[in-house]
Structure 1
């Protein structure tokens, strides 16, 4: 095996292992959120903040990723982030209320840094297979999210109904990813010298359309991650069934996470696909809230098919709207920094609306409006153009 092929294979394995850890810190909370609230005596507003914190810090930490990558290289930055993620997941359940909130915020920050850098690594090392590689790591990310959503409540029951070790369990996949990434982090690519200061993406309308699409679809995703089990429990499912339903929904994402980018790149542009997958997402959310309870499992699958495609398309747009890896990293930093900060309001407002109106009907209208605006942003972002083209 040639050195370059070996390095690319190690990079791909590392990307997939890191991707598996980009969601368990979030999806492991929601199945046991009610139990955490009872044990820690958290109000509904505090529970909403707990689901919002990691998303907020996904956005706040995004600008740190390119700064750190310029100093240490992308590989070493990812290594540091995944090891800090493992530490925060191990410590947060055993550190009281303050430790739970701080550890959850730190986990979100680590995930934000890794999420910003991975599209640039993919663009750099797999330029001829960007959509396929993006689909693969999105699918593995969905697998990790689904495992955490489905297994955390059974783990709690196995640990004598103690949620703390059930949450701490998810430090193990992060530690495994860190060990594998450590092995390859010595082969760091130094960023090429820039002959001039690049134009700011903040003045580019297309960059803002990509950012809005990323942020609004993420707002829906994290509202679902944080509150879908509670919605389904209110509609009659048991806690275990609700966790499994979220897991089923996330597992369904794998199908469209791979196929949506692949099909979209074979079309004239990406506008049809971003509209289709967001429409499926809205149909699934509507079904979970308004449809008869005996059809809930159908709607969680449709929801998963939509959300797998929306996130994969958001990541694909970061690569396709950029001419080179450096621009892809900058666009990723902007889209995820601004987008995830915007997305943090999704689960927060979802919790507030439920608290005020004592039901999910008004929340469903709010999520529908978010999805409609996301479609408008996606129609702009899906045009076959590049940022900073003019």
Structure 2
């Protein structure tokens, strides 16, 4: 059973950094990351293996683990942002060996930097969300990355190293906005500080600014556009597949066409469905629904596809039957039945960034009204 990390609203940058208490940078749209996707595989023993698509490096975690993606990822000290946009936001987090971050700056007055959010505390590891500090392997080891990107095991010895620069086990998280009107190349920098405010090291991120940062220029189904980049929207382009009274699509099949922006090459296009199924613990007398994993199949660009047509039942459907001598039939029955009106088909595009030399992945969706 496989799944790929996808987040249309937020993208992850500088994968060698870690989430919360570990070095990480997350990017909010319309900034775009320059890292490969990480694939998650559920193993038969209930553990999860995470593999970087470009380096093939992997790590196995005792359970589902958001930190694993950062642990195996390669640090990419670069990002692409969109000009004249206030949504270029970088999320920064400290590592275990760093007390806080500071001195956020750029190398040019043309690239403005502003701290939009700052949260710092010294609650210590006993009160921290340690699931985002390290990976716990099947044999119980705790693996993490320090501020330099070195992979280590958390133990008594490395804990003493951490306390040398982070005596109070402090941590911090920050949202930094970058803004520019001019396309070009810049540098964003910040300092990792110890508990006394001394600089441990300075981190730099190369920033490329351009008018359109979206790898996909537009996508059409049955001759109608269902996706357009942010810049395309600003120029007046619309998703006319839904541009009718009621704002829905009733087409069952048609040709799918993905048009990439300059500098991006399609490697693979997949179509997927997510089914609703009975939860594993369900019985005849008591059941609920749950979402199954998305099932994917490879398709060709420009070819005809058939959209998901199953009548989608709600995740919230449930039924329960209990004995009650006074009730009709001798049972209390409680049931909810919900029928979805929209059926969703997912489109996953794996592509190659010719500038960063990395394989990346993004996901779109086509909605169809179920009569």
Structure 1 or 2: more helix by fraction? 1
Find the structure with the greater CA-based Rg. 2
Higher relative contact order (CA 8 A, sep 6+): 1
TM-score by length of 1: 0.21
Structure 1 or 2: more strand by fraction? 2
